[in-house]
Structure 1
């Protein structure tokens, strides 16, 4: 098949949508498909264009058999509602150069990972012009999250965004998403189950594997064997509920062996660093994103992994960091609303500890219980790895997706 993918995030971004879109495209190209991508310069999660791509405009590169067409765009230094809208629209406009050329080519399938919402405009127009199949792939229900998390409060704007989203959902030939909870919400928007495709996120279970503390990066990063490390690794955004970290650090301030490590970038990082300094907290360490090739060794430094989610974000997204934790056989402390996909994933398999979202007292209670329960932690780590082996295999997930889209072309 000849496949065109349109998304604002792509490899070599190491986290979030760009990581999964890149791996999907490279896997499909490896199966013999002709895959092209229209995307931006890599910038996420630092919100800064990577050095190798700075100062460039429109150009094409080939990454692992995938032809990647890059475009320049606006990346704000400070992410706000207004600057984010400008950021997304600048990409939509600058990518039109590639789309005008694409109109003279025939693709069998167009895939557009969402968010951002405006990503649906060009695929919709192209699919109508060429009668090409279009898959609208949802990694994050952006409009619902903006409303429920209070990121957008203008009712008129929300009304418009909700109607644009429903328009794309109706016009796409297929709609895919990553969890049963998201599927339920999508079907509630009036989408028939016949056009729905389940495409869960995955992990490279052979590359990301359990490692001992001795094999980990503990010594390299300056931590000791006796340290009890609570790790958060990933995007530090406003949806993650990271405000819980400060009172947690205050609670454990008198236990010198308990160390909280926050690794990654994002809109909330600067605020967290300022709060840490203002509260004179010595038990929080900030680290940059670690190299992917060292991910197993890095995850192995942790005794516990934080997977935090706000109540309002329940089933609007699924934290991708959890998949790597499960594959690494990590012990996760997960905040999840009861009966949500995240809660069921952990609770039904006993693959981690569950706490109530946005309840600091409950989170601290669970952490204290976990620290005092070494035998339970061993079992949860074993269950985590078993879950990854059974459900998160990249080859199996993408093979199933390939079978579905091949039948549609």
Structure 2
């Protein structure tokens, strides 16, 4: 008899980036490996923060089957301007629809909740109790930590009690799970700080498909078709990145006429960023590409960049970095030296990690990579070899499957 797993998470196909992409690939992998998979999710909206056009006029509750996976959706409220209060309403509404959809689940051996957001754990706990199932919580990010570290809260006076309450709720919900997993070593450590050491905790990182991103067999993407040295940022244009430093970076590069900067993505800061760089001729903005174009996009770049804020110790390994490294191109990344990303970049020799925001050092490294083709190749080769060895899709998903079999043995 097939083992039955119900996955609860707000992001799923056709979202083809970040958590939505990973949850979809995981669910379909399990379906292909003799599991009966049901997904309870929302309507696709990320990263544009608007309901996908193909789903825009569908009913509020939708049941569909995609690639063998049974999917229950609820059309949640999606704010155009996702400030904190509107995000909270967005999640509350999703919880309401998810609770109703969970009544449609007939049987389950395991209920897997994808965090963010933590509210799904409460619903998952209720469902697992009713169905006699095990509860597994897989943490992609600690959302309360992310909010407290970001600029989403403009007035941080008198919010200490609020966050103490939220962290207490988070701890109770996480401790109610039968099994916990996270995606990075730093997050594993943070999880232990939150709930204590537990044998039922495991590191299960995100992955990259080396057979999908093909640096030795790609077609030059139309966004990066010039003969200039091309620097690419591809991903969410949001609060976590240091866009002030990015603006300085682009301005410093403008006199170098054989270098151009390309930004591919959407997010809450995109309009603001475009306005700040409106007068410069060395930068180009494009909307996100289809997942099928991602390999060509990444491999068409000469150099990848990601500028993170120094005051945020990011315990997450952003999925975009694995894809960047898999493209066999070097990367320049800035941020806190204690972050998970710093550890990965420095140990892999995949490029350069700067924890001090010295614009001259960063620009000098760009020039060095541009002028030294052999050095560029060394960094790129090291990057790809590292992700294949440590984050290969088949290896990680097989570990997920083995973990699931242990939970319900």
Corresponding position of 1:112 = 113
Q: CA deviation at 1:303?
A: 0.9
Q: Quick one: distance in 2 between partners of 1:347 and 1:223?
A: 30
Q: Quick one: distance in 1 between partners of 2:165 and 2:258?
A: 51
Match of 1:97 among 97, 100, 105: 100
Q: Quick one: distance in 2 between partners of 1:194 and 1:39?
A: 29
Cα–Cα, structure 1 residues 8 and 141, in superposed 2: closer, same or farther, change >3 Å? same
Query: In the TM superposition, what whole-angstrom CA distance separates every residue of 1:281-310 from its partner, at most 9, and x where no partner exists?
Result: 111100111121121111122111012322
Match of 1:216 among 205, 216, 220: 220
Corresponding position of 2:19 = 17
Q: Quick one: distance in 2 between partners of 1:91 and 1:362?
A: 45
Deviates more, 1:248-257 or 1:314-323: 314-323
2:389 equivalent to 1:380: no
Corresponding position of 2:9 = 7
Q: Quick one: distance in 2 between partners of 1:400 and 1:321?
A: 21
Whether the 8 Å CA contact 1:232–1:261 is kept in 2: the answer is yes
Q: Quick one: distance in 1 between partners of 2:356 and 2:78?
A: 32
Q: Quick one: distance in 2 between partners of 1:382 and 1:407?
A: 36
Corresponding position of 2:144 = 143
Task: Summarize the alignment of residues 9-408 of structure 1 with structure 2, pairs less than 5 Å apart.
Answer: 9-56=11-58, 57-102=60-105, 105-152=106-153, 153=156, 154-211=159-216, 215-217=219-221, 220-221=222-223, 223-225=225-227, 227-277=228-278, 280-356=279-355, 359-408=358-407
Q: Quick one: distance in 2 between partners of 1:182 and 1:73?
A: 29
Number of residue pairs the alignment of both structures matches: 401
Q: CA deviation at 1:67?
A: 0.6
Q: CA deviation at 1:131?
A: 3.5
Q: Quick one: distance in 1 between partners of 2:403 and 2:140?
A: 18
Q: Quick one: distance in 1 between partners of 2:276 and 2:165?
A: 36
Q: CA deviation at 1:349?
A: 1.8
Query: In the TM superposition, what whole-angstrom CA distance separates every residue of 1:369-397 from its partner, at most 9, and x where no partner exists?
Result: 43343322110111111112211211111
Q: CA deviation at 1:144?
A: 1.0
Provide the TM-score with structure 2 as the length reference.
Answer: 0.93
Q: CA deviation at 1:360?
A: 4.0
Whether the 8 Å CA contact 1:241–1:358 is kept in 2: the answer is no
Q: Quick one: distance in 1 between partners of 2:318 and 2:270?
A: 17
Q: Quick one: distance in 2 between partners of 1:284 and 1:53?
A: 33
Taking only aligned residues, the RMSD between alpha carbons, in angstroms, comes to 1.7
The 3-state SS of whatever aligns with 1:307 is: strand
Provide the TM-score with structure 1 as the length reference.
Answer: 0.93
Deviates more, 1:188-197 or 1:111-120: 188-197
Whether the 8 Å CA contact 2:253–2:363 is kept in 1: the answer is no
Q: Quick one: distance in 2 between partners of 1:199 and 1:350?
A: 23
Q: Quick one: distance in 2 between partners of 1:376 and 1:404?
A: 40
The unaligned stretches of length 5 or more in structure 1 are none
Q: Quick one: distance in 1 between partners of 2:336 and 2:104?
A: 46
Q: Quick one: distance in 2 between partners of 1:180 and 1:62?
A: 35
Cα–Cα, structure 1 residues 4 and 318, in superposed 2: closer, same or farther, change >3 Å? same
Whether the 8 Å CA contact 1:334–1:353 is kept in 2: the answer is yes
Q: Quick one: distance in 2 between partners of 1:123 and 1:368?
A: 51
Query: In the TM superposition, what whole-angstrom CA distance separates every residue of 1:70-89 from its partner, at most 9, and x where no partner exists?
Result: 11110111110111111111
Q: Quick one: distance in 1 between partners of 2:127 and 2:208?
A: 32
Q: Quick one: distance in 2 between partners of 1:242 and 1:372?
A: 26
Q: CA deviation at 1:362?
A: 4.3
Whether the 8 Å CA contact 1:49–1:75 is kept in 2: the answer is yes
Q: Quick one: distance in 1 between partners of 2:312 and 2:115?
A: 16
Whether the 8 Å CA contact 1:232–1:306 is kept in 2: the answer is yes
Q: Quick one: distance in 1 between partners of 2:406 and 2:374?
A: 48
The 3-state SS of whatever aligns with 1:348 is: helix
Whether the 8 Å CA contact 1:353–1:370 is kept in 2: the answer is no
The unaligned stretches of length 5 or more in structure 2 are none
